[in-house]
């Protein structure tokens, strides 16, 4: 399956639009008793990566249920709460391409 943030895929033609698909991933990085900015940044970065992976997997699974071979126009939103909870939400348009 092709995933892209663009609205078209070079070399392919969209032949059918099946609808909007979405996914959300949440990750709570482990809290540390001591504060070290490098460890904090690494923890947040790892949290974003894990949450993004979860969200994109959900997006792809939802698209597979629609029997499509691509998702175009993917938008991603990343939120970090005061308690360091990372939330990533993604949406896109499920399409068939040829």
Q: What is the mean pLDDT of residues 32-51?
A: 83
The model carries a pTM of: 0.88
CA 11 vs CA 7, 8, 17, 68, 98: distances in Å: 13, 9, 17, 17, 9
Measured from the Cβ of residue 50, the count of other Cβ atoms closer than 10 Å reads 17
pLDDT digits (tens, 9 = 90+) for 5-35: 999 999 999 999 999 999 999 997 766 656 7
Q: Percentage of residues in the chain with pLDDT exceeding 90?
A: 72
The beta-strand segments (E) located in 35-85 are: 70-80
Domains of the chain (ranges plus CATH)? 2-97 (3.30.110.70)
Query: How deeply is 92 buried, as exposed, middle or buried, from its count of CB atoms within 10 A (0-12, 13-18, 19+)?
Result: buried
């Amino acid at each position: 399956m092709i995933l892209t943030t663009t609205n078209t895929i070079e070399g392919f033609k969209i032949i059918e639009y099946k609808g909007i698909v979405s996914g959300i991933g949440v990750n709570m990085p482990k809290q540390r008793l001591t504060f070290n900015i490098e460890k904090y940044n690494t923890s947040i970065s790892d949290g974003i990566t894990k949450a993004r992976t979860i969200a994109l997997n959900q997006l792809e699974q939802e698209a597979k249920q629609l029997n499509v071979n691509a998702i175009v126009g993917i938008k991603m939103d990343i939120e970090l709460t005061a308690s360091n909870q990372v939330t990533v939400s993604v949406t896109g348009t499920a399409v068939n391409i040829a």
